Chain A
Amino acid sequence: MTDVEARPNVALEIDDLTTVFRSRHGVVRAVDGVSLEVRKGEMLGVVGESGSGKSMLCLSIMRLVPGPAGRIESGRVRLGGVDLLRLTEAEMRQYRGRRIAMILQDPLMSLNPVYSIGNQINESLRIVHPGAGAKERVQKAIELLRSVRIPEPKDRLKAFPHQLSGGMRQRVCAAIALSGPPELLLADEPTTALDVTTQAEFLRLLRDLRDDLGVSIVLVTHDLGIVAQNCDRVAVMYGGRIVEEAPVRRVYSGPRHPYTALLLRSVPSLETQTLGSRLIPVDGTPPDLSQLPSGCRFAPRCPLADARCHAEYPPITEIESDHHSACWKPGEVASLLEV
Chain B
Amino acid sequence: MVRLLVSRLLQSLVALWGVTVLIFFVTRASGDPALLLVPPQATDAEVAEVRKDLGLDESYVVQYAKFLEGAVRLDFGDSYRNRRPAMDLVKERMPATLQLAVGAFVFAIVVAVPVGVLSAVRQGGWFDRFGKAVALLGQAMPSFWLGLLLILFFSVRLKWLPTGGRDGWDSYLLPTVTLSSYLIAVLVRLIRSSMLEVLRSEYVKFARLRGLSEYSVVMKHAFKNAAIPIVTVAALLFAAFLTGAVVTETVFSWPGIGRLAVSSILARDFPVVQAIVLLSATIYITTNFLVDLAYLWIDPRIRFS
| Contact surface of A with B, Cβ cutoff 8 Å | 62, 64, 68, 93-98, 101-104, 106, 109-116, 123-124, 127, 160, 162-163, 173, 176-177
Contacts and interface: CB of A to CB of B under 8 A. Distances in A.
Nearest to A128: B211
B300 A104 contact: no
Interface residues of B: mostly helix, strand, loop or mixed?
Answer: helix
A110 B211 contact: no
B298 A114 contact: yes
Contacts of A98: 211
Interface centre among B203, B210, B224, B304 (most CB of A within 10 A): B210
Given A68-B124, A160-B301, A111 B208 contact: no
Contacts of A110: 202-203, 205-206
Contact of A113 (B208, B211, B216, B300): B300
Interface centre among A62, A96, A101, A114 (most CB of B within 10 A): A114
Nearest to A64: B208
Contacts of B298: 114
A163 B304 contact: yes
Contacts, number: 74
Contact of A101 (B124, B210, B212): B210
Interface size class of B (residues with CB under 8 A): 20 to 34
B209 interface: yes
A124 B301 contact: no
Contact of B206 (A95, A111, A160): A111
A99 to B, nearest CB: 9
B301 A64 contact: no
Given A96-B208, A103-B206, 18 more contacts: A64-B205, A93-B211, A94-B211, A96-B210, A97-B210, A98-B211, A101-B209, A101-B210, A102-B209, A104-B205, A110-B205, A110-B206, A112-B221, A116-B300, A124-B212, A160-B301, A162-B304, A163-B304
27 contacts: A62-B209, A64-B208, A94-B211, A96-B208, A96-B209, A96-B211, A97-B209, A97-B210, A97-B211, A101-B209, A103-B206, A104-B209, A106-B202, A109-B202, A110-B203, A112-B203, A113-B203, A113-B301, A114-B225, A114-B300, A115-B220, A115-B224, A116-B300, A123-B212, A123-B216, A160-B301, A162-B304
Interface string B119-155: 0000010000000000000000000000000000000
B201 interface: yes
A115 B205 CA distance: 16
Contacts of B213: 93
B88 interface: no
A298 B229 CA distance: 48
Given A160-B300, A163-B304, A124 B203 contact: no
Given A112-B225, A127-B212, A104 B301 contact: no
B207 interface: yes
Contacts of A176: 210
